[in-house]
Amino acid sequence: QVQLLESGGGVVQPGGSLRLSCAASGFTFSGYGMHWVRQTPGKGLEWVAFIRYDASNKFYADSVQGRFTISRDNSKNTLYLQMNSLRVEDTAVYYCIAFHDTRGEAYWGQGTLVTVSS
């Protein structure tokens, strides 16, 4: 069955860096655009970034532009999110999602918690 497994979350100080990974299985990873979405109790669900199936296009939310980098390795069925210059307000659960709008498919991982605190 479809599985997305995030890892790499943890506690980091403001200004620090983390790299999240999302290991995909059970579907053709290389055929899907991939998203990162984060969730906080206060701000709800917030879209973070997107990468096209072949990595030819990447888009970011204004709140993370210039600090976060999305990438993928289709040979390893893995999605990444490099997060630099982290801020307290980046604290959230981060989800990776495989999304296909015309087929009505949205596969979400279980999420990984990132806490930015001194």
Partner 1 sequence: EIVMTQSPATLSVSPGERATLSCRASQSVSSNLAWYQQKPGQAPRLLIYGASTRATDIPARFSGSGSGTEFTLTISSLQSEDFAIYYCQYYKKWPPVWTFGQGTKVEIK
Judged by the rule CB under 8 A, the positions of this chain that interact with partner 1 are 33, 35, 37, 44-47, 50, 57, 59, 61, 95, 99, 101, 104-106, 108-111
Spatial separation of the C-alpha atoms in residues 25 and 27, rounded to whole Å: 6
CB of 33 to partner 1, least distance (A): 6
Name which of 5 and 91 has its Cβ closer to partner 1.
Answer: 5
Nearer of residues 46 and 71 to partner 1, judged by Cβ = 46
Phi-psi region at 111: left, alpha or beta (left = phi > 0; alpha = psi -120 to 50): left
Query: Min. distance of Cβ 66 from partner 1 in angstroms?
Result: 17
Q: Are 29 and 77 in contact (CB under 8 A)?
A: yes
| Residues across the chain | 118
Quote the least distance from Cβ 113 to partner 1, whole Å. 12
* Residue (of 104, 108, 78) closest to 3 by Cα position: 108
Task: State the nearest-atom distance from the C-beta of 13 to partner 1, in Å.
Answer: 27
Asked if 99 and 109 touch (Cβ cutoff 8 Å), the reply is no
Q: Which is nearer to partner 1, 17 or 40 (CB)?
A: 40
Tokens of 111: 């999420």
- Nearest to partner 1 of 98, 116 (CB atom): 98
